[in-house]
Amino acid sequence: MDMKLIDSHQHVFWHGRDDKGLLADMDKYGIEKAWILSWEEPGDEMGSNYSAVLDPRFRGYGTPAPALPLAAVYEVARRYPDRFIAGYCPHPLDAEAVGKLTAAIKILGVRVCGEWKFCIQFDDPRCLEIYKVAGQYGLPVVLHLDSPYLPPKGGKYVGNARWKGGSIFNVINACKLCPETNFIGHAPGFWREITGDADERAESYMTPPRVPGGRLERFLAETPNLYADLSAGSALRALKMDPEYARSLLIKYADRFLFARDYYGGEMLEFLKSLNLPADVWRQIGRENAERLVAPAYVAPEM
């Protein structure tokens, strides 16, 4: 596990660290490159609990500023082109979303569409138009999924700041409607599908025991353009439910998982090392899948 890693889900200017702080953390854990993703979720969808940990430069009083805007991503990716790959996803309700993504690809060198994190169903037609552009230019879409309803008693609405995208079925539908686009799942609403009793689980983050028959493995088998990143507490807790099953899943679908963190530190890396994955599996998860999925740098046609 001495290979240089690629972190396929990361942010910058938050939780007390700037770009230099992020680089120091990457160096500590042997990470050569990171996809740094925008987070265009506006304040009225996000809630106020992130105010103390987000870059305040773009969050002026009375403005609907997004959490982590493209400006910050571009600033850092341009400063350290050998270490960072820029990601951006505009809000689907923006009438200019498609044009903005296209411009970001052609002018700013964006190579990933993400992070998609909005209070709208993932397969809404306005979202599909964004994915089609991403697929046209080879950008994978990194999505954040949080269920709008959680059990018991038929499902309790979690609130406007807590749901993103709908259910796993919205994701699968988008995968089918945009077969030329690759989708990378992330977050509690996605990783809950590792257990067969997801529809009865009242919690967002999964805890043991894991019940066999989770839909995640079935959808990976049935949906060739569906991937998953191993970022955040959602992935770590889901895999820790059943380490033996986690190991078998990662080996079986080694070409579909990407090492990622969405934060700082080495918790996921430590857990993956404990699984003693075969060397070829670790190469795919730790680096090769990210290299394969990221879009090539845009080259403007000659005039």
Main-chain dihedrals φ then ψ at residue 239, nearest 5 degrees = -70, -35
Residue 145 tokens, joined: 């999924």
Q: DSSP 3-state assignment of 161?
A: coil
pLDDT digits (tens, 9 = 90+) for 214-260: 999 999 999 999 999 999 999 999 999 999 999 999 999 999 999 99
Q: What is the CATH number of domain 5-293?
A: 3.20.20.140
Give residue-wise pLDDT tens across range 39-97.
Answer: 998 877 876 677 788 887 876 655 667 888 999 999 999 999 999 999 999 999 999 99
CB atoms within 10 A of CB 165: 28
Q: Where are the beta strands (DSSP E) in 171-296?
A: 183-186, 226-229, 257-258
Report DSSP letters for 21-53, one per residue: HHHHHHHHTTEEEEEEE-EEEEHHHH-STTTTT
d(CA 211, CA 129) in angstroms, rounded, equals 36
- Give the amino acid at 102: T
pLDDT band at 23 (very low <50, low <70, confident <90, very high): very high
The token pair that represents 256 in the structure block: 């579909």
Where do the domains of the chain lie? Answer: 5-293
